[in-house]
Structure 1
């Protein structure tokens, strides 16, 4: 495992988005992390410090625009050429530094070690995503509840056979008895361990970036609205069927990501193609093929209801100005990248 050396520290309130874009664009072996109430720029190759620190000094002083700086390889000297005098190396370094001004951007020498790609996917600190972690825990708690045959405490009772009307439904009976929690709690129930694992993974991939960027309040509003919407969609679609699972919430997160990735195309905390995969899975399940082959029922209405609610709620969020929190895929205040 590489040993990472700290090149420079920055205060938490300093916006390092431009630096993060520079690292990503030039494929430099650097990372930005939050440690000890500071933002740290680290590298596995300490030799990079001699090349980058003068550049960072000028950037911090406002003399340099990193978006105008590019890194290009320097051709190696022919084998027959003799070693250059010591002062030649110094002159070359001085010339390179002079050429990286904002008025006349030049080239920056590459690190001695070969450049390697840097991941842009954040590894969020735990305190930034507590609600997502609670949802993940609830997936497995719901599985244990079903194992102990206690799901009747949280589920919406299936509608008895016969005519169905909203006023005389099993759901109406729950509400008349003050059991309003049943609008939300079916999302907790999971009827198998793979079901719980799948939804927990969806929340980990989609939920944590959304919560970390949008904040706990906006994320909680999305979940608390999407859960009953997806549950009600599934109940009214198939009132005679017992259902449960966090899939409707996960699809709401997918709908949210779909809107945000189009509102802010540079935001890349969530891997590209995830939402397309989710929509493809929804369409496959809607055909009944999965149920026909494996004999497992799929809450397609809950998926669709959650996805649509995620689309609409996030569109409202963006119209209200919330999209600015997703303006860049780079590191913002208190973000941690790995």
Structure 2
């Protein structure tokens, strides 16, 4: 079912109360910014008409309102297909990640991985020989700058990164749109890959974790400057992720035999994510 525009309002209008009402009633929605305005979307014309009427009555929300003959706890949740359609860029990145996981055997098939790694390489016996990055770029292999984010080593690596991208990607896509999420994802991948290459030199690395730290930093700083329901993360999430980052930086995870951690990618992603969150949040705040 295609999304239908319900409201188009100036950025100065505070929709947080009404959005909170929609969330309490479990009404599927999406808010985007277009040409200096905020646009509220819902799936289907019938629901759009009801939401318009609801906004006319309760533009600031109402904590006691319930839909007639319908308890909020009984409102149907959108199915997985509806959620995938509502967040196409988030879904596309995850589907590409799953496809790459299948083709690379979750990091076991080096002959396939070498086409997506930051640098091309050859395995000879117990040694891995990397080609220079400049050589690959000169040959037109520019995709290598971002494709390492699609490579995962093991089912746990894939599951954890996929879960967090699903959670954070949908929030950004709902608040700022799919185009912004795509630019942020590619940009965070580029910066985190370069940061890892700068700190570790020629090595084989991959995963969405650098991008995830970027998305996390973006939501965190944006929310502090321009509070919005979409970027309101559960309490303790940021603290937990920062603690995990410090534990990884300490070398404990590697010492315990869980493999090398791409700390450069994590730190690089977090820093650039905080920078984009600062810029986006400041612009959103000025537009109110």
TM-score (norm 1): 0.62
**Alignment equivalent of 1:229, drawn from 166, 191, 194:** 191
**Alignment equivalent of 1:241, drawn from 194, 203, 208:** 203
Deviation of 1:203 (Å): 0.7
**Alignment equivalent of 1:31, drawn from 26, 35, 47:** 26
Q: Tell me the residue number matched to 1:290.
A: 253
Root-mean-square deviation (CA, aligned residues, Å) is 4.1
Could you say which structure has the larger radius of gyration?
1
Residues 183-192 or 263-272, more deviating: 263-272
**Alignment equivalent of 2:182, drawn from 214, 220, 245:** 220
Change (3 A) 1:114 1:246: closer
- Determine if the alignment matches structure 1 residue 143 to structure 2 residue 101: yes
Alpha-carbon distance in structure 2 between the residues aligned to 1:268 and 1:207: 11
Deviation of 1:274 (Å): 2.2
Residue 39 of structure 1: SS of its match in structure 2? Answer: helix
CA deviation vs aligned residue, 1:63-101 (integer Å, no higher than 9, x gap):
x76759775xxxxxxxxxxxxxxxxxxxxxxxxxxxxxx
- Determine if the alignment matches structure 1 residue 254 to structure 2 residue 248: no
Give the count of matched residue pairs. Answer: 252
Alpha-carbon distance in structure 1 between the residues aligned to 2:253 and 2:172: 30
Q: Tell me the residue number matched to 1:131.
A: 89
User: In the TM superposition, what are the counterparts of 1:192-211 in structure 2 within 5 Å?
Assistant: 192-211=154-173
Deviation of 1:287 (Å): 0.5
Q: Tell me the residue number matched to 1:7.
A: none
Deviation of 1:315 (Å): 1.9
From the two aligned structures, give the one with the greater helix fraction: 2
Residue 31 of structure 1: SS of its match in structure 2? Answer: coil
Alpha-carbon distance in structure 1 between the residues aligned to 2:102 and 2:285: 37
Alpha-carbon distance in structure 1 between the residues aligned to 2:72 and 2:90: 35
Alpha-carbon distance in structure 2 between the residues aligned to 1:323 and 1:282: 32
CA deviation vs aligned residue, 1:262-315 (integer Å, no higher than 9, x gap):
123342555323222221111111111111113311101001111111111222
The answer for unaligned runs of 5 or more in structure 1 is: 1-9, 43-55, 72-107, 161-167, 328-338
Deviation of 1:247 (Å): 1.1
**Alignment equivalent of 2:226, drawn from 256, 264, 276:** 264
Q: Tell me the residue number matched to 2:276.
A: 313
TM-score (norm 2): 0.71
Deviation of 1:159 (Å): 8.8
